[in-house]
Amino acid sequence: MPPKKDKARSTVETVGASDDGVCFRCEMVSCGNPRCKQCKDAPSHGPYWYAYAFIEQRTITAYVGVELDEDKGRRRIAKKARAMGLRRRASP
Ligand SMILES: [Zn+2]
């Protein structure tokens, strides 16, 4: 197990977009349960990593997990993009 980054536990981070336009954000999330005391005032679960991509003016998001895994995020973005019938802008 790699050592936990304490910073990621309290700070919402963004890993900037790379060449392929995919960026990663670490976010606190709400579980959506109206009876959850933790989420009463603010989303309080996580933080979890999400991948974001902007393809053909559409925003695609994909859940990555507790640990940042860029390959996994890119695979999930690519799968969603295909399902939505979008093509990566870099493709000819
Ligand atoms: Zn909750």
Please list the pLDDT of the chain residue by residue as tens digits (92 residues). 444 443 333 346 788 766 678 999 999 988 889 899 998 888 899 999 999 998 888 899 999 999 999 999 999 999 999 999 987 655 44
- 54 CA to middle of ligand 1, Å? 29
DSSP-based three-state secondary structure for 14: strand
- Could you tell me how many residues make up the chain? 92
pLDDT at position 10 is 35
Query: From CA 5, how far away is CA 13, in angstroms rounded?
Result: 12
pLDDT at position 3 is 45
- 80 CA to middle of ligand 1, Å? 26
User: Running DSSP on this structure, what letter comes out for residue 3?
Assistant: P
- 64 CA to middle of ligand 1, Å? 19
Query: From CA 42, how far away is CA 37, in angstroms rounded?
Result: 10
- Residue of 56, 76, 70 lying closest to 17 (CA atoms): 70
pLDDT at position 42 is 85
Beta-strand pair 45-55/58-65:
antiparallel
